[in-house]
């Protein structure tokens, strides 16, 4: 690897890191009062920022899309929670994410649907994700799954169609309980 290539790569990493620090600083002014995210990385899009509240040490990965179809919908994310790269978070039906939640790469959370008519008015479904939940990579949480219980794990690639109780591991399409935790 040439000296020029090494210099280019180090400069690129430095500039992106600097951009993310500055971007996070400005996001804090646009989010709901009291929001204090740790970092919001490059390429993230957040719509209706006045209705989004991030507690302390919330991390949002690169190229995430956080959106709603309604101007009055709310998103609350608890302390030390992490949304990783390329996740899509819909909070149209209101979404509350607890403390120490990890949402892994490319996962999708939906809180509304249109029934069988894509042009119909959206139907809201509120969703609560309790504390210490881990949602595995590329999982899909559909609108009618309104509750994910404390300390539960959603295995990678799962499609969650209904509520998930506390202290379980679910996997598959549709997701089913495969193990109960202590």
Structural domain range at position 126 = 3-180
How many other CB atoms are there within 10 angstroms of residue 100's CB atom?
A: 16
Q: What per-residue confidence (pLDDT) applies to 123?
A: 93
Q: Which two tokens stand for residue 31?
A: 């989010």
Residue 177's H or E segment, with its range, is strand 175-180
Given 12, 114, 162, 176, which residue is catalytic? 114
DSSP 122: P
The CATH number of the domain holding residue 95 is: 2.160.10.10
What is the model's pLDDT at position 137?
Answer: 98
112: annotated active-site residue: no
Contact 17, 41 (CB under 8 A): no
Question: Among 45, 13, 9, 12, which Cα is nearest to 27's?
Answer: 45
Instruction: Write out the two tokens for 95.
Output: 């979404």
pLDDT per residue rounded down to tens, the chain (182 residues):
688 888 888 888 888 888 888 888 887 777 777 778 888 888 899 988 889 999 989 999 999 999 999 999 999 999 999 999 999 999 999 999 999 999 999 999 999 999 898 888 999 999 999 999 999 999 999 999 999 999 999 999 999 999 999 999 999 999 999 999 98
What whole-number distance in Å separates Cα of residue 89 and Cα of residue 108? 6
Sign of CA dihedral 147, 165, 56, 82: negative
How many domains does the structure of the chain reveal? 1
Q: Which residues contact 39 (CB under 8 A, 6 or more apart)?
A: 20, 21, 24, 59, 60
Query: Model-level pTM?
Result: 0.88
The predicted pLDDT at position 6 comes to 87
């Amino acid at each position: 690897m040439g000296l020029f290539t090494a210099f280019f790569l180090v400069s690129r990493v430095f500039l992106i890191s600097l951009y993310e620090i500055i971007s996070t600083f400005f996001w804090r002014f646009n989010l709901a009062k009291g929001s204090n995210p740790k970092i919001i990385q490059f390429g993230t899009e957040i719509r209706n920022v006045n209705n989004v509240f991030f507690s302390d040490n919330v991390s949002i990965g690169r190229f995430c899309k956080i959106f709603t179809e309604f101007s009055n919908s709310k998103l609350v994310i608890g302390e030390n929670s992490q949304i990783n790269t390329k996740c899509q978070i819909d909070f149209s039906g209101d979404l509350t994410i607890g403390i120490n939640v990890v949402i892994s790469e490319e996962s999708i959370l939906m809180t509304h649907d249109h029934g069988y008519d894509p042009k119909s008015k959206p139907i809201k479904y509120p969703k609560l994700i309790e504390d210490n939940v881990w949602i595995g990579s590329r999982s899909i949480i559909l609108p009618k799954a309104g509750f994910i219980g404390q300390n539960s794990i959603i295995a990678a690639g799962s499609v969650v169609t209904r509520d998930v109780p506390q202290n379980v591991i679910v996997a598959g399409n549709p997701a089913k309980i495969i193990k109960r935790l202590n």
